A and B are shown apart, each in its own frame.
Chain A
Amino acid sequence: MKIKKTYFFPLKAVTALVIIFSVIAFMSFGFKNDLTVTNAKNEIINKDSVESVKAFMDVYKVLMSPRCMNCHPAGDIPLQGDDNHLHNMYPQRGKDGKGIYAMKCSNCHQPTNVEGLNTPPGDPNWHLPPANMKMVFEGRTPRQLAKQLINPKTNGNKTLQKLIEHADDGLVKAGWNPGEGRTVPPLSHEEFKKAWITWIKTGAYAPKP
């Protein structure tokens, strides 16, 4: 007697698996687009969303400290002091971020700090972000700020490599040499730089809302 061979084909199970994998793939695609950035130069070397977000929260503490946030205000007048009050005499941002008329930043902010308590801190390149890209820190949530920082359209046209280099910008480092009467950011510049680079190199993930 010839036995007819029959093959069991788990059609329902396979269909279910296909659907599940499709959903997972779709969701992960959407998730990736929402939370990470990459570029063509493979500047991100080791994606790790947990480590990245953890590093960013250290970065965020620094960026929201008065020494950083005071020159990244929501309005067109810089902030001043450890309590982030509007800058005395209300200097305006101006188109290039360097002030207007006889109220340009460098009229008072010298290339170096002025001696004495609460005197103008100095840097040769003292300025706010320009009017056409204000790079606001004030009022930003961690997620908003992270997304703003990694987008060249909102970060001053910086690639990830330029962002990494920006940690050593003279005006950024001036935050750790603020002159008498002002607190420094909550991390040392070395710790900040390490967190900044870690955040970027592990995928520049934005914290969840």
Chain B
Amino acid sequence: MITLNINNKNYNVDVDPETPLLWVLRDTLGLVGTKYGCGIAQCGACTVHLNGAAARSCVTKVSSAVGRKVVTIEGLSEKNDHPLQKAWIELDVPQCGYCQGGQIMSAAVLLKENKNPTEKDIDNAMAGNICRCGTYLRIRKAIQLAAEIQRKGG
């Protein structure tokens, strides 16, 4: 039995320690906001936070998450009011939406470490998250808006 702390809640799961964290999140625990995209850490759809750092959950063994705090898109904020979520709604960023959870989780790491990112900072930080609908321009704008909301205390 493996104990995981996900979104500030403990879960006991009976899985092989080698199982990718993504499979446990989605198939065992039903936290399906985190998406399977490529399965080889190439697209970013499966991005979660491990102790505050971004992690590609499709290649992260569940054993690596033991003793660490896992945050998924469901746990980014209690009331879906993270500045990024507010900005995403305000600017109507998603098209199909499949990659957006990963996009937001990556952007959250950026905004935690850089309160006022330039366009170049955003492009560099988000280059690992692919959007097949091509919503990149709206994503960039939303991150700038979220930074502004964050700076104003929102």
Contacts of B127 on A, CB cut-off 8 Å? 89-91, 103
Residues of A within 8 A of B47 (CB): 102, 107
Give the docked Cα–Cα distance between A31 and B126 (Å): 51
Contacts of B60 in A (CB 8 A): 110
Q: Give chain B interface residues in 39-79, CB to chain A under 8 Å.
A: 40-42, 47, 53-56, 59-61, 64
B109 within 8 A of A: yes
Contacts known (A89-B128, A101-B110, A102-B125); A114 close to B40, Cβ less than 8 A: yes
Interface residues of A in 71-92 (CB under 8 A from B): 88-92
| Set of chain B residues within 8 Å of A91, measured between Cβ atoms | 127-128
Asked if A106 lies at the interface with its beta carbon under 8 angstroms from chain B, I say yes
**Which residues on B sit within 8 Å (CB–CB) of A107?**
41, 47, 53-56, 128
Cα of A207 to Cα of B62 in the assembled complex, Å: 49
Contacts of B55 in A (CB 8 A): 107
> Which residues of A sit under 8 angstroms from B54, Cβ to Cβ?
101-104, 107
Given A108-B56, A110-B59, A111-B64: A101 touches B113 (CB 8 Å cut-off): yes
A100 contacts chain B at the CB level, 8 A cutoff: yes
Interface residue A28 (Cβ < 8 Å from any Cβ of B): no
Main secondary structure of the interface of A (DSSP, over half): loop
- Closest B residue to A117 by beta carbon equals B40
| Interface bracket on B | 20 to 34
Closest to A89 in B: B128
B114 located at the interface, meaning its Cβ lies under 8 Å from any Cβ of chain A in the complex: yes
Known contacts being A102-B105, A107-B55, A108-B59, is A119 close to B128, with CB within 8 Å?
A: no
A114, B38: Cα distance in complex, Å: 13
Determine if B59 and A114 form an interchain contact, defined as CB atoms under 8 angstroms apart. Answer: yes
Within 8 Å CB of A118, what residues of B? 40
Residues of chain B in range 94-124 having any CB-CB distance to chain A below 8 Å: 105-107, 109-110, 113-114, 121, 124
**B114 and A108 form a contact (CB under 8 A):** no
A1 to chain B, nearest CB (A): 103
Cα A208 to Cα B109 with chains together (Å): 49
Are the CB atoms of A103 and B125 closer together than 8 Å?
A: yes
A89-B127, A91-B127, A119-B59 given; A102·B40 CB < 8 A: no
Q: Mark A32-76, 1 if CB is under 8 A from B, else 0.
A: 000000000000000000000000000000000000000000000
B-chain residues with CB within 8 Å of residue A89 when the two chains form the complex: 42, 127-128
Q: How far is the CB of A180 from chain B (nearest CB, A)?
A: 11
- 1/0 contact string of A106-129 vs chain B (CB within 8 Å): 111011001010111000000000
A102 touches B109 (CB 8 A): yes
Task: Decide: A88 and B42 in contact? CB cutoff 8 A.
Answer: yes
Bound-state Cα–Cα, A88 to B110, Å: 20
- What would 20 A/B residue contacts be, using CB atoms closer than 8 Å? A89-B42, A89-B128, A90-B124, A100-B124, A100-B125, A101-B121, A101-B124, A102-B107, A102-B110, A102-B126, A103-B106, A104-B53, A104-B54, A107-B47, A108-B41, A108-B56, A110-B64, A114-B40, A114-B41, A116-B40
Task: Give 5 closest A-B pairs by Cβ, nearest first.
Answer: A102-B106, A102-B54, A108-B41, A101-B125, A102-B109
